[in-house]
Amino acid sequence: MHSKTITPVAGLVLDPAQRTMLAALCCLPLLEFGEEGLHGWSQLIVYPEAFRVERSHMDAAGVLHQGNDELIGEAWDAGPVILSWADVLADCADPRGGFCVAAHEIAHKLDALDGVLDGTPPLPRDWQLEWARDFQRAYDALVADVEAGRTSPIDPYAAEAPEEFFAVATEYHFSDPGTLQEALPDVAAHLARLYGRPPFATD
């Protein structure tokens, strides 16, 4: 709370207790990793609810796509973390529901610490190799399930990209570890090593 600014916007007001709760949620993924996991950015921006962003990107064929997306959280490269307060409250009201937008965005920040947003945070070399192998295998299987129209064992948003897979799996670690353990035991084991024992672990 001393090194980051929490900035409520769009009419939102946050009292000291609410700011402390936000800070605690953002630190949840850092209990094992340490405070260096917060390096490289300085501002948490909080919207009252989901927020709209204009996007444009050039695809490989040189076509410019423009869109207007509604988001509940975002983590910019070397920039702020942005959260929807309404969604943070919804996560807290249902802490075992499988969603935790604050942990999701901090997972993106951990992922980006090594300069590449690819679903792999900075880890000792041997562990990183095992992580990359196990995560790739689990991600490929999930993508195959989603593409074949089979029921996805976790939120199918995880099949969007390897970095989303890591961030969504992080949400399950903190809020529904039983589902993660059953669906993706290798991934669950890596996350337990990265984050510590899940708070709602049953065994």
Residues 37, 46: contact at Cβ < 8 Å? no
Restricted to residues 85-114, the positions that interact with Zn ion (CB under 5 A) are none
**In which residue are the tokens 């909080």 written?**
46
Supply the minimum distance, in Å, between the C-beta of residue 164 and Zn ion.
5
Is 83 a binding residue for Zn ion by CB under 5 A? The answer is no
Supply the minimum distance, in Å, between the C-beta of residue 126 and Zn ion.
27
C-alpha to C-alpha distance for 30 and 140, rounded to whole angstroms: 27
Q: Select the residue whose beta carbon is closest to Zn ion and give its number.
A: 167
**Contacting residues for 50 by C-beta, under 8 A, at least 6 apart:** 70, 71, 72, 84, 86, 87
Residues 83, 105: contact at Cβ < 8 Å? yes
Is 167 a binding residue for Zn ion by CB under 5 A? The answer is yes
Q: Which is nearer to Zn ion, 167 or 191 (CB)?
A: 167
In order of 40, 69, 106, 117, the CA distances from 162 in angstroms are 22, 20, 15, 9
Residues 170, 191: contact at Cβ < 8 Å? yes
Q: Which is nearer to Zn ion, 18 or 30 (CB)?
A: 30
Q: Which is nearer to Zn ion, 167 or 180 (CB)?
A: 167
Supply the minimum distance, in Å, between the C-beta of residue 18 and Zn ion.
23
Instruction: Identify each DSSP E strand in the chain by its residue range.
Output: 5-8, 43-47, 51-58, 64-71, 73-75, 81-84
Supply the minimum distance, in Å, between the C-beta of residue 76 and Zn ion.
12
Q: In this chain, which stretch among 44-52, 80-88, 89-97, 166-174 interacts with Zn ion, using CB under 5 A?
A: 166-174
Q: In this chain, which stretch among 33-41, 55-63, 80-88, 165-173 interacts with Zn ion, using CB under 5 A?
A: 165-173
Q: In this chain, which stretch among 48-56, 148-156, 160-168, 178-186 interacts with Zn ion, using CB under 5 A?
A: 160-168
Restricted to residues 129-158, the positions that interact with Zn ion (CB under 5 A) are none
Residues that bind Zn ion (CB under 5 A): 164, 167
